[in-house]
Structure formats: structure tokens, C-alpha cells
Amino acid sequence: MIRTQSLLKVVDNSGAKLVKCIKVKKKGGNAHANVGDVVLISVQSLRPRYGRRVRLKMNKSEVHHAVIVQTRRFFRNKAGVGISFMSNSVALITPEQKPLGTRISAVLPSKLRSLKWVKLAAMAKKII
């Protein structure tokens, strides 16, 4: 469960390393987000740049949209197998629901494919 002020890892190559959740979108009050929900985030730290060739798509303290792709909370998939991950992670998206990065370096749950995030699932290293 992700609430406001939660620190999250970024699993794509958009340039951010650590982000903080500002707001859970499309839920009111003290709502919490699960896998597949959209949150509003603020960039806390950036990945190091190796040379001038690498152009970052963001700066520190910018506000972006993101999708929750991994949570530490235990949940069951369609086959009935329970899954939980080691960290709370997000993948950054544009306001038009398109991915900001080009690669995802993490294992994603198959639940994302059924929740209209097929493009994120296609970029992932592995789906369980």
C-alpha cells in the first residue's frame, strides 16, 4: 500500500532514482495505491550521468506521473500464487499515459497486463 510521503524506487531508465509520492490519483482522502494505480510523484534524487552524451529527461524536485509496478504488500495473482516484492517501485509516465523511459529493469507482475499497462509489460525484463 502506497500512501502520500512514501519513498519509491524508479525501475525505468528515465533518469530518476528515488521519488516521493505526493498524491494518489482518482482516489479521495486517505487513499492508498496498489499495483497498477497512477500516482503523482516528486523526484528526490537522480541517477549519475556518465559523460555529456546522456541527456536526462528530468531535474530534481520536478513533479511527474508514475504507475506503481511493485509493492511490498502480499497479493495473489490469477493463478492463486501469492506475490510480494522486495521494494515499492514505480515506472514514470507522461500525463498522456505513455512511458517516459525506454527500458524497465525489473520483474513485473502479470496483473499490469490486464490493467491497460501492456506497453510497460512489453518493456519489462520478465513478467511473473
E strand or H helix that includes residue 91: strand 89-93
Closest by CA position to 64, among listed 27, 96, 104, 30: 96
Per the domain annotation, does 112 fall within a domain? Answer: no
Total domains in the fold of the chain? 1
Give the HSE-up count for residue 18: Cα atoms under 13 Å, Cβ half-sphere.
Answer: 7
3-state class of 9 per DSSP? Answer: strand
Per the domain annotation, does 43 fall within a domain? Answer: yes
Per the domain annotation, does 128 fall within a domain? Answer: no
pLDDT in tens, 19-66: 999 999 887 767 889 888 999 999 999 888 765 655 667 788 899 999
What pLDDT is recorded for position 31? 83
Per the domain annotation, does 124 fall within a domain? Answer: no
pLDDT in tens, 88-126: 999 999 999 999 888 898 898 888 888 888 888 888 888
The range of the structural domain enclosing residue 96 comes to 7-102
CATH number at residue 51: 2.40.150.20
Per the domain annotation, does 110 fall within a domain? Answer: no
